[in-house]
Amino acid sequence: MKKQIISKILFALIGIISISSCALDNDETTASFFSSQEFELISNSLSMENILPNYSSSEEENRDMLFDAKALLGRVLFYDDHLSIDNSISCASCHDQKLGFADDKAFSEGINGQVTERNSIAFSALGSDNSSDNPYFGGDDSFGASMFWDHRASSVTEQLKETIENDIEMGMPLAELPGKLNELDYMQMLFKKAYSDGDPYYTIQEDDILDALLKFMQSLNPSNSKFDKFNESRFTGQSSTVQLTVSEEQGLFLYENNCGSCHGFDAGHPAPRTANNGLDMIYTDSGDGNDKFKIPALRNVALSGPYMHDGRFETLEDVIEHYSSGINKTSNLSHDFSHLFINQVGNQRGFDFTEQEKTALLQFLNTLTDESFINDPRFESPF
Ligand code: HEC
Ligand code: HEC
């Protein structure tokens, strides 16, 4: 009798342990997409809670599973050290989800202990693959914002090619990457699943690597910050459950009047043009050639310091102080600033914010943090 009870308890315990140790959630949708063999291979190589998350942002029943499989593969590639020549660096080494996909250094470390020449850039508004409504996608669209601090890449795909091959960052010749990834059984399977279109002889292609990474990047769309929720109600006219504090709202007003013309009124999209914000009288890095640089989106900006193309400012307080009192009147200074430069007695000036205004602006910038984005398991490391 006793024995029976003990064995019942043991049985129940084993049940609980085996349920909780099953890291993957093989729900029905996923099961219909991956065979049990494929599922096992994924379970052995990767550790994810949900094996095939919905990246296509459509309703669960209308999911585009092929898109999801491509984006999932992009995520695996994004976090995989095999993308660098010596298997030491992944995209995530310099783009950390918890930091809005920037990092916390002025210059990031690439292969062989080398450091990048510029500050890593946080990701924003990569949400749509329709370039006409997504200014982030340059290249095919004249309204588009190009990639990098100097806008030298006209599209994400161009950016990807350069980054993977860049001698400092990953140093991996693209032509050799398919062969290298083909050696990894989980890569082979995931690529086949997403790109073979039923061809049993399919092998990994360069274009498919770029496409998968692009699809993952497109699914990254931080748009659920306190400010977003507040802003949405302003445009729909519906009363919002989220209110800004008096100080945050004053910060928003200051932002709209002093910063919005460049950084955009939703602060979520990089601008299609470059600009000079008076960091120095003489620029050692000339950016796009005219001392002008990308105007970054400010979504998650509280997490992505240090700031500017060379990471010169540690904190947002430093940045605000720059705009308030530190702007240099260089010859390429952007026009948006020009009118601010001469005060009533003819002297040079900046925005001259009061201490209270600086605090308000800082508090507003803090409302741009999207906690659900930086904690979204769909974007976490799959390893
Ligand atoms: C060694 C660090 C490092 C690695 C590895 C790295 N990046 Fe970057 N990334 C940077 C830096 C630094 C910049 C800015 C470079 C510049 O503007 O000249 C940047 C810029 C970008 C941009 C441009 C963002 C914008 O708004 O213009 C994107 C997108 C990007 N990286 C994605 C990736 C992806 C995807 C990978 C992996 C394939 C990757 N990065 C690997 C450091 C890195
Ligand atoms: C004339 C256009 C312009 C205006 C107006 C402007 N900025 Fe900027 N901002 C830029 C440019 C260009 C950069 C990048 C400069 C560089 O790195 O060389 C930048 C960079 C920044 C950064 C650093 C972002 C990062 O990821 O490193 C912050 C924060 C910022 N601006 C906030 C503000 C605030 C707050 C205001 C208003 C008080 C403002 N900006 C007004 C053009 C502008």
In this predicted structure, the answer to whether residue 277 has a pLDDT above a threshold of 80 is yes
pLDDT at 96: 98
CA distance 184 to 245: 52
Contact by Cβ (8 Å): 164, 172:
yes
27: confidence class by pLDDT, cuts 50, 70, 90: low
pLDDT at 41: 93
CA distance 156 to 152: 11
- CATH number of the domain enclosing 347: 1.10.760
Q: 299: Cβ below 6 Å to ligand 2? A: no
Q: 277: Cβ below 6 Å to ligand 1? A: no
Q: pLDDT tens for residues 58-86?
A: 777 788 899 999 999 999 999 999 999 99
Closest ligand 2 atom, residue 336 Cα: 1
Is 198 found in the same domain as 66?
yes
Q: Domain for residue 163, yes or no?
A: yes
Is 291 found in the same domain as 217?
no
Percent of the chain with pLDDT over 90: 63
Closest CA to 155 of 272, 329, 2: 272
Q: Domain for residue 6, yes or no?
A: no
Distance 277 CA to ligand 2 centre (A): 7
Which residue minimizes the CA distance to atom 10 of ligand 2?
A: 295
Whether pTM exceeds 0.85:
yes
Among all bound ligands, the one having the nearest atom to the CA of 261 is 2
CA distance 251 to 125: 22
Is 199 found in the same domain as 78?
yes
pLDDT at 351: 84
pLDDT at 349: 58
| Residue 311: how many other CB atoms lie within 10 Å | 20
Domain of 328, in residue numbers: 226-367
Q: 285: Cβ below 6 Å to ligand 2? A: no
Rounded mean pLDDT, 40-44 = 92
Q: pLDDT tens for residues 100-156?
A: 999 999 999 999 999 999 999 999 875 444 444 444 443 333 346 788 999 998 888
Q: Domain for residue 32, yes or no?
A: no
Is 218 found in the same domain as 141?
yes
Closest CA to 274 of 249, 250, 294, 256: 294
Is 360 found in the same domain as 215?
no
Of the candidate ranges 34-38, 43-47, 64-68, 144-148, the one whose mean pLDDT is the lowest: 144-148
Is 282 found in the same domain as 263?
yes
Q: To the nearest whole number, what is the mean pLDDT of the chain?
A: 86
Cα angle 181, 184, 190; round to 5: 80
Q: Domain for residue 22, yes or no?
A: no
pLDDT at 288: 95
Q: Domain for residue 21, yes or no?
A: no
Q: 159: Cβ below 6 Å to ligand 1? A: yes
Q: pLDDT tens for residues 3-19?
A: 445 544 544 444 444 44
Closest CA to 285 of 313, 309, 304: 309
Distance 102 CA to ligand 2 centre (A): 16
Is 231 found in the same domain as 216?
no
